[in-house]
Amino acid sequence: MSIDGAPASRQADVTPAHRPSADGALRPGRRWHAPARAVGGILVAIALWELISVSGIVKAQALAGVGPTASALVTHSGRLLSAAGGTLEAWGVGLGIAALLGITLGSLVGRSPVAEAFTEIVVRMMRPLPSLALIPVAILIAGLGLKMTAGLVAFTSFWPIFINTRYGVQQVDNLFIDTARTLGLTRARLLLRVIVPAAAPLIASGLQVAISLALVVTVSVELVSGSGGIGTFVMQAQQGNAVPTMYAGIISGGILGWILNRGFATLSTRMLPWANRLEQR
Amino acid sequence: MSVVQPTLRAHGTARRALRARLRNWALGLLGLAAAVGVWQLSSGFVGSTLMPGFAPSASDAWTILTGPVLSQDLIPSIERTLAGFAISAVLGVSVGLITGYYRAAREWTAGVFDFLRSLPTPLLIPVALTLFGLGGNMVVAVIVTAATWPVLINTANATRALDPTLVDTARALGLRGPAFMSRVVLPAVSPQIFAGLRVAISVSLAVMVVAEILGGSSGIGYFIANAQQSFAITDSYAGVLILCLLGWAFDSFFLLIEHRLLAWQRGTVGGGQHV
**Dist. CA B94–CA B108, nearest whole Å:** 16
What does A227-241 look like in DSSP terms, one character per residue? -SHHHHHHHHHHHTT
H-helix segments, chain A: 23-26, 33-55, 66-75, 77-110, 113-126, 134-142, 146-170, 174-182, 187-189, 196-225, 229-239, 243-271, 274-280
What pLDDT is attached to residue B40?
Answer: 83
What pLDDT is attached to residue B85?
Answer: 95
Determine contact, residues B31/A120, Cβ cutoff 8 Å: yes
pLDDT in tens, B115-133: 998 899 899 988 888 888 8
**What does the domain layout of chain B look like in residue ranges?**
6-46, 54-265
Residue A12 located in a structural domain: no
For residue A205, the distance in angstroms to the closest alpha carbon of chain B comes to 14
pLDDT surpassing 50 at residue A280: no
Residue A4 located in a structural domain: no
pLDDT mean over A196-208? 88
pLDDT in tens, A94-147: 999 999 999 999 999 988 888 888 888 888 878 777 778 888 878 877 778 888
Q: pLDDT band at A15, cuts 50/70/90?
A: low
Neighbours of A280 (CB within 10 A): 11
A71-100 residues touching B, CB cutoff 8 A: none
pLDDT surpassing 80 at residue B208: yes
Determine contact, residues A165/A131, Cβ cutoff 8 Å: no
| Number of folded domains that form chain A | 2
- Of A5, A40, A61, the residue at which a domain comes to its end is A61
Q: pLDDT band at A18, cuts 50/70/90?
A: very low
Residue A237 located in a structural domain: yes
Q: Do A122 and B123 touch (CB under 8 A)?
A: no
**Same domain for A238 and A143:** yes
- State the CATH number of the domain containing residue A187: 1.10.3720.10
Per the model's pLDDT, the better-predicted residue between B176 and A169 turns out to be A169
Least confident segment among A135-139, B33-37, B101-105: A135-139
What does B207-256 look like in DSSP terms, one character per residue? HHHHHHHHH-SSSHHHHHHHHHHTT-HHHHHHHHHHHHHHHHHHHHHHHH
Q: Do A12 and B202 touch (CB under 8 A)?
A: no
pLDDT mean over A39-66? 85
For residue A184, the distance in angstroms to the closest alpha carbon of chain B comes to 23
For residue A271, the distance in angstroms to the closest alpha carbon of chain B comes to 22
pLDDT in tens, B195-206: 889 889 988 988
**Same domain for A207 and A195:** yes
What pLDDT is attached to residue B268?
Answer: 53
Q: Do B131 and A62 touch (CB under 8 A)?
A: yes
Nearest CA-CA partner of A126 in A100, A111, A105, A147: A105
Residue A167 located in a structural domain: yes
Residue A16 located in a structural domain: no
Provide the domain limits for residue A32.
23-61
All residues of chain B having their beta carbon less than 8 Å from the beta carbon of residue A42 are: 111-112, 115
Beta bridge partners of B266: B269
Q: Does A236 touch chain B (CB under 8 A)?
A: no
pLDDT in tens, A232-267: 999 999 888 888 899 999 999 999 999 999 999 888
Residue A144 located in a structural domain: yes
Per the model's pLDDT, the better-predicted residue between B260 and A215 turns out to be A215
pLDDT in tens, A147-200: 888 999 999 999 999 999 998 888 888 888 888 888 888 888 888 888 888 888
**Same domain for A263 and A167:** yes
**Same domain for A102 and A46:** no
**Same domain for A207 and A113:** yes
**Same domain for A236 and A132:** yes
Q: Position B169: which residue type?
A: T
Per the model's pLDDT, the better-predicted residue between A277 and B160 turns out to be B160
Residue A18 located in a structural domain: no
All residues of chain B having their beta carbon less than 8 Å from the beta carbon of residue A137 are: 224, 228, 236-237, 240
**Same domain for A120 and A241:** yes
Per the model's pLDDT, the better-predicted residue between A215 and A129 turns out to be A215
**Same domain for A56 and A173:** no
Q: Does A64 touch chain B (CB under 8 A)?
A: no
Q: Does A114 touch chain B (CB under 8 A)?
A: yes
All residues of chain A having their beta carbon less than 8 Å from the beta carbon of residue B163 are: 3-5
What interhelical angle do A196-225 and A134-142 show, nearest 10? 80
- Of A41, A61, A81, the residue at which a domain comes to its end is A61
Determine contact, residues A247/A53, Cβ cutoff 8 Å: no
Q: Do B275 and A61 touch (CB under 8 A)?
A: no
- Of A7, A36, A61, the residue at which a domain comes to its end is A61
All residues of chain B having their beta carbon less than 8 Å from the beta carbon of residue A215 are: 120
**Dist. CA B87–CA B151, nearest whole Å:** 11
What pLDDT is attached to residue B267?
Answer: 54
**Same domain for A178 and A254:** yes
**Same domain for A148 and A30:** no
DSSP designation for B269: B
**Same domain for A164 and A273:** yes
What does B123-157 look like in DSSP terms, one character per residue? GGHHHHHHHH-SSHHHHHHHHHHHHHHHHHHHHHH
Residue A160 located in a structural domain: yes
CATH fourth-level superfamily of B54-265: MetI-like (1.10.3720.10)
pLDDT in tens, B211-267: 998 887 888 888 888 888 887 888 888 888 888 888 888 888 888 888 887 777 665
HSE-up of residue A26 (Cα within 13 Å, Cβ side): 5
Q: Does A3 touch chain B (CB under 8 A)?
A: yes
**Dist. CA B120–CA B140, nearest whole Å:** 16
**Dist. CA B98–CA B87, nearest whole Å:** 17
Q: Do A59 and B240 touch (CB under 8 A)?
A: no
**Same domain for A69 and A54:** no
Task: Mark A57-75 as b/e (b = at least 16 C-beta within 10 Å).
Answer: eeeeebbbbbebbbebbee
Q: pLDDT band at A277, cuts 50/70/90?
A: low
What pLDDT is attached to residue B2?
Answer: 47
HSE-up of residue A5 (Cα within 13 Å, Cβ side): 17
